């Protein structure tokens, strides 16, 4: 399968850092799932590779399932299909763009369909054509440093998730610091507003005796 780059205009529109939003509960499970293994429930079937993922049953121990499992157990559920490009898992943009924030992630075109890589991929090394293109690229993933074709921020959904968690943690720490400083300010203001005690008079002197 051949990869083709998407339009630079679309990439530039996705390059602005978005406000971090909570990721769906199923995303981490999707990124950690191993796909394309033979289905244990249908070992003799011709289409038994586990390349399906259910967005409604992500808590299941068997997150990936095959074509036959989908028909039997997930007929009315939201299901996405995982595909492969250069031995790495990808998902079509059309299957996740309505349920997941994919802004800033590099997209490619495979068989006339726009796709996203699920996880980080090793950077090409050596003297091959891929390594040469990587070295010449002015764009890099902000998390793993992989060369990108267009001005996107991340090479995969996994790298975007890492960034989202980092920024959420930084935002939480900043909020905690602001609250702590506000608390100190309130205490200082209360101390300044507290009325001072009455000033003590000087040492009294006895009236002199006159002979």
Of the candidates 14, 1, 7, the residue with the CA atom closest to the CA atom of residue 155? 14
- pLDDT tens digits for 94-126? 999 999 999 999 999 999 999 999 999 988 765
DSSP H or E stretch at residue 183: helix 157-193
Q: Average pLDDT over the chain, rounded to whole?
A: 80
pLDDT attached to residue 170: 84
All structural domains of the chain with their residue ranges: 4-16+26-121+137-166
**pTM, to two decimals:** 0.72
- pLDDT tens digits for 22-72? 789 899 999 999 999 999 999 999 989 999 999 998 655 568 999 999 998
Higher pLDDT: 114 or 18? It is 114
Sheet containing 52-54, strands listed edge to edge, beginning at the edge strand earlier in sequence: 4-5, 108-110, 113-117, 88-92, 79-85, 52-54, 64-65
207 CB-near residues (< 8 Å, 6+ apart):
none
Alpha-carbon distance values, 170 to 15, 145, 153, 173, 178 (Å)? 20, 21, 19, 5, 12
The predicted model gives 165-192 an average pLDDT of 69
DSSP H or E stretch at residue 131: helix 129-136
* Angle at the Cα of 34 from the Cα atoms of 31 and 36, rounded to 5 degrees: 125
pLDDT range class, residue 13, cuts 50, 70, 90:
very low
User: Residue 117 class from Cβ within 10 Å (0-12 exposed, 13-18 middle, 19+ buried)?
Assistant: buried
């Amino acid at each position: 399968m051949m990869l083709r780059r998407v339009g630079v205009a679309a990439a530039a529109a996705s390059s602005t850092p978005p406000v971090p939003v909570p990721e769906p509960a199923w995303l981490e499970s999707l990124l950690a799932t191993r796909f394309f293994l033979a289905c244990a429930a249908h070992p003799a079937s011709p289409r038994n590779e586990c390349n399906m993922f259910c967005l409604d049953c992500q808590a299941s121990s068997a997150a990936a399932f095959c074509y036959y499992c989908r028909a039997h157990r997930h007929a009315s559920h939201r299901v996405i299909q995982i595909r492969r490009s250069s031995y790495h898992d990808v998902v079509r943009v059309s299957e996740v763009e309505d349920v997941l924030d994919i802004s800033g992630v590099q997209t490619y075109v495979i068989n006339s369909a726009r796709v996203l890589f699920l996880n980080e991929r090793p950077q090409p090394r050596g003297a091959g054509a891929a390594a040469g293109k990587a070295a010449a690229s002015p764009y890099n993933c902000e998390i793993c440093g992989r060369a990108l074709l267009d001005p996107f921020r991340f090479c995969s959904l996994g790298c975007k998730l890492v960034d989202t968690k980092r920024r959420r943690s930084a935002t939480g720490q900043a909020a905690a610091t602001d609250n702590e400083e506000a608390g100190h300010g309130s205490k200082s203001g209360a101390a300044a507003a507290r009325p001072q005690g009455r000033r003590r008079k000087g040492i009294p002197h006895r009236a002199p005796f006159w002979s």
